[in-house]
Amino acid sequence: MTQHLLKAEIHCHLEGAAPPSLAEAQARKYGMETSHIIQDGSYRWSDFSEFLVCYDAVASLFRTAEDYALLTETYLAELSAANTIYSEIIISPDHGDRIGLGADAYLAGICDGIEAAREKTGIETRIIITGERHFGVDRVVAAAEYAARNRHPLMTGFNMAGEERMGRVADYARAFDIARDAGLGLTIHAGEVCGAFSVGDALELVKPARIGHGVRAIEDPAVVERLVELGTVLEVCPGSNIALNVYPDFASHPLKQLKAAGVRVCINSDDPPFFHTSLAREYEIAAQEFGMGDAEINAMSRTALESAFVDEDTRTRLLARLDSAPTA
Ligand SMILES: Nc1ncnc2[nH]cnc12
Ligand SMILES: [Zn+2]
């Protein structure tokens, strides 16, 4: 049982956290059909490309700042009920733009949800702006420019998600230069759908503090060595990797190998209802499937907080909370 453990996560996509029941309620509100994306209460997709299409369709059901406040607060309340003290949510201004809401109102709604959740539960949250690789280089650069221009105190990081097979990291490096110059923390999806070369490219061209997934680094010992040398944190999402068939089962998943090699890792939920998971379940997976005890799991929560994109006072406070919690 891991319910008693304090939890932290640094890799969850906001629209990817929408419960299917909430997406259905949104669809009713706007008179939209959902049978192509939701069946029997579950999201429907069969491979990574279809998952991205389904994700974008779900995002299009949230259309006002209030819709986004509700989605954000709903997710953070669920996290808090599972003893989570810190969350970083990945959001895409493109989704605000694509439904005609605009990035500013999209962000304002999400911030309202974060404040409401903090008031009710005390959960600490930060926002990572992401470019979506499959929307093209110009959109990813525009997302970075947006993040650099709008230095909201809750917006502390920049990411790139989406179709990893589209282009090479070099094509998108300018976006990360813009975000780095603005003082944002950097993380990038790599080594999920593509192999170790993608992690190697990310390390050399983006120099991120963290990598989203990164698990396929295991395919090249030189890339694993570089991760160790640089201290780059991997935001590992085991349930997502199994659902998307990156690995056939937990026994084949390299989490333990990466850890044993000295790579810094933590566990995350990615897009929980899309992958029939939750942060609470990922902690259970760490215990049940990977055989980790409380101390080993707490060490991963500590890694998440050590690499969180927060000011040092907040980090110190969160780490003290984690360290003072009873573990048994
Ligand atoms: N697992 C994932 N990989 C890449 N892009 C994503 N967007 C949402 N979830 C994602
Ligand atoms: Zn992700």
271 annotated binding-site participant: yes
ipTM: 0.98
User: 299 with 264: CB under 8 angstroms?
Assistant: no
283 in ligand 1 pocket by Cβ < 6 Å? no
User: 130 with 208: CB under 8 angstroms?
Assistant: no
User: 36 with 111: CB under 8 angstroms?
Assistant: no
Residues in the chain: 328
DSSP conformational letter for 135 = G
What is the Cα–Cα distance from 217 to 194, expressed in whole angstroms? 10
User: 212 with 185: CB under 8 angstroms?
Assistant: no
190 in ligand 1 pocket by Cβ < 6 Å? no
What is the Cα–Cα distance from 268 to 304, expressed in whole angstroms? 9
Which ligand ends up closest to the CA of 15? Answer: 1
95 annotated binding-site participant: no
11 annotated binding-site participant: yes
Catalytic residue selected from 124, 164, 192, 289: 192
What is the Cα–Cα distance from 1 to 284, expressed in whole angstroms? 7
DSSP conformational letter for 219 = G
Secondary structure E strands in 237-319: 264-267
15 flagged as catalytic:
no
Partners of 161 in beta bridges: 132
Written as six digits, the tokens of 42 are 């579950």
Ligand 1 centroid to Cα of residue 161, in Å, is: 5
Q: Is 191 left (phi over 0), alpha (psi -120 to 50) or beta?
A: left
Q: What are phi and psi of 69, to 5 degrees?
A: -65, -40
Domains defined for the chain, CATH in brackets: 7-323 (3.20.20.140)
Of 159, 161, 164, the closest CA to residue 195 belongs to: 164
- Reading the chain (328 residues) residue by residue, the pLDDT tens digits are 999 999 999 999 999 999 999 999 999 999 999 999 999 999 999 999 999 999 999 999 999 999 999 999 999 999 999 999 999 999 999 999 999 999 999 999 999 999 999 999 999 999 999 999 999 999 999 999 999 999 899 999 999 999 999 999 999 999 999 999 999 999 999 999 999 999 999 999 999 999 999 999 999 999 999 999 999 999 999 999 999 999 999 999 999 999 999 999 999 999 999 999 999 999 999 999 999 999 999 999 999 999 999 999 999 999 999 999 876 5
What is the Cα–Cα distance from 217 to 261, expressed in whole angstroms? 11
pLDDT, residue 325, reads 84
294 annotated binding-site participant: no
pLDDT, residue 327, reads 61
User: 175 with 186: CB under 8 angstroms?
Assistant: no
Q: What are phi and psi of 135, to 5 degrees?
A: -90, -5
pTM, rounded to two decimals = 0.98
311: CB partners within 8 A, 6+ apart:
none
Burial of 152 (0-12, 13-18, 19+ CB in 10 A): middle
**Sequence-ordered alpha helix ranges (H) in 60-211:** 65-81, 93-98, 103-121, 137-149, 169-181, 196-205
- CB atoms closer than 10 angstroms to residue 40: 6
| Residue to mutate (ligand 1; options 13, 49, 274; most atoms within 8 A of CB) | 13
Which ligand ends up closest to the CA of 133? Answer: 1
Task: Please measure the distance between the N-terminal and C-terminal CA atoms of the chain and give it in whole angstroms.
Answer: 10
CA max distance for the chain? 53
Report residues near ion ligand 2: CB below 5 Å: 212, 270
Ligand 2 centroid to Cα of residue 303, in Å, is: 18
